[in-house]
Amino acid sequence: MIDKSMHIPTLETERLILRGYRKDDFPAYAQMWATPEVVRYINGTPLTEEEAWTKFLRIAGQWPVLGYSFFAVEEKSSGRFIGETGFIEGMRDIEPSLKGIPEMGWSLSPKVHGKGYAFEAASAARDWGERHFGKRPFRCIISPENESSIKLATKLGFRELTRTTFKGKPTIMFERP
């Protein structure tokens, strides 16, 4: 059942605001997902505007259905959308299964790489997740080639759980107990 009254929390860090998506975030969202640097380790193919729109609605729609999803990440100093982080239910065809386990993720625009925003945003989302989900473990999946995301996951307290494949590509599954 969809809860249209679902309140999406707003989280603030020193330099960022994590909040629910707004329709006016979409142009920057579509631009981010059309960037080869963003998708290089995810699926390797930049998203079309139509594919980005489907992804955008999928992420936004998980809040009222599940009570969690990704947060839009806004840079306080500029007020612009710069990425996303949080938890999803991806219904992924992967072993071991992620179904029913909060899957954490993060993606930021290359325009803000190197500023420490990924750790700042993902730390706030992780802390929210600990309060929201309680003592449940979190998982994330990362391409073995994505060294910066592996470093971030480790810094966030994730540890390698197993090596597997996802959509025919080698994948590392991490868990944060």
- Helices then strands (H, E): number in the chain? 5, 8
User: CA–CA separation, 140 vs 150, rounded Å?
Assistant: 10
Residue 47's pLDDT is 97
Q: What is the mean pLDDT of residues 24-42?
A: 96
Beta bridge partners of 81: 74
How many Cα neighbours within 13 Å face the side chain of 161? 20
Q: What digits encode the pLDDT tens for the residues 163-174?
A: 999 999 999 999
What is the model's pTM?
A: 0.94
Residue 131 DSSP one-character state: H
* Mean of the per-residue pLDDT values of the chain: 95
What is the SS3 string spanning 51-107?
Answer: HHHHHHHHHHHHHHHHCCCEEEEEECCCCCEEEEEEEECCCCCCCCCCCCCCEEEEE
Q: What is the mean pLDDT of residues 105-129?
A: 97
Spatial contact of 162 and 96, defined as CB atoms under 8 Å apart: yes
Q: What is the mean pLDDT of residues 23-29?
A: 97
Residue 177's pLDDT is 86
